[in-house]
Amino acid sequence: MFNWAGTVLQLPKRGGKRHNLTATIESRISSFAATASLNATVDPRHDKRRRALRDSQLSQAVAAKLEDGNVKEAVHLLMSEDSPAEPCSDSLAKLQEKHPQATVKADDLPPSSPVQSLSVDEFQVCLAVLSFPAGSAGGPDGLRPQHTRDLLLCREAGSDFLTALTAFVNLVLAGRCPLDVAPIFFGGRLLALNKKSGGIRPIAIGFTLRRLASKCANSFGISQLKTSFYPPSAGRWHSGRL
């Protein structure tokens, strides 16, 4: 599963009319090898986009965001003065200061019970898929939210895809992710930017499927807790009693 998107759905090189995108995808699917390593399936051009946005790269990055329909991020790239941090021990130390070791280990948590776990339906999963902002980045496997959206809106197989996707989300919400897979699935790609003020800004990009399950869980939590955080009345809020 982790290898599929990086192998099949990665953006092909621009080749004009001589290259048919459908034929390229079909060829990749027919020759897909699920046993390939995750690192080998990641498009090396993705790493190039995440390096310093020098003058020669800035226009390409902005153009890519505009193609995704993410005008906000394109403007942010043009206006940002942050620069990618160099991979060194000093950058690692700064990141570790922002992310100290957890006080509770996963082994110390109580076991999950499938009977008490949250379960969502296809409509809730569909809303979660469509709620991702345009141009959202993909995780280490290369699967982007736009990929799931396109698959969901496919007339021929969208319904079957939604059924399978809902079953997968409920499996994750039930705590049935294998223990040897969990450190990868609940991890992500960590980027670091040097702030103009001298600090460091960590940016984590998790797996799209994990983020989808989290969206479903968050929607349920919001529906249960929103009344506890909303002001009792607009009058009391404006009167300064809260």
**Can you tell me the distance from the alpha carbon of 186 to that of 96, in angstroms, rounded to the nearest whole number?**
18
Q: Residue 78 corresponds to which tokens in the numbers above? A: 């043009």
Reduced 3-state DSSP string for 123-172:
HHHHHHHHCCCCCCCCCCCCCCHHHHHHHHCCCCCHHHHHHHHHHHHHHH
Q: Per-residue pLDDT for 112 more than 70?
A: no
- Confirm whether 190 is domain-assigned: yes
Task: Tell me the pLDDT tens digit for each residue of 27-75.
Answer: 888 888 765 555 444 444 444 444 444 555 567 666 766 666 677 777 7
**Can you tell me the distance from the alpha carbon of 167 to that of 170, in angstroms, rounded to the nearest whole number?**
5
- Confirm whether 148 is domain-assigned: yes
The pTM is what?
0.71
Task: Tell me the pLDDT tens digit for each residue of 115-155.
Answer: 678 899 999 999 999 999 888 888 899 899 999 999 999 99
Q: What is the DSSP letter of 135?
A: T
- Confirm whether 154 is domain-assigned: yes
- Confirm whether 205 is domain-assigned: yes
- Confirm whether 40 is domain-assigned: no
- Amino acid (1-letter code) at residue 143: L
Closest CA to 137 of 189, 187, 85, 101: 189
Domain that holds residue 112: 82-225
**Can you tell me the distance from the alpha carbon of 202 to that of 196, in angstroms, rounded to the nearest whole number?**
14
**Can you tell me the distance from the alpha carbon of 212 to that of 200, in angstroms, rounded to the nearest whole number?**
28
- Mean pLDDT of all residues belonging to the chain: 78
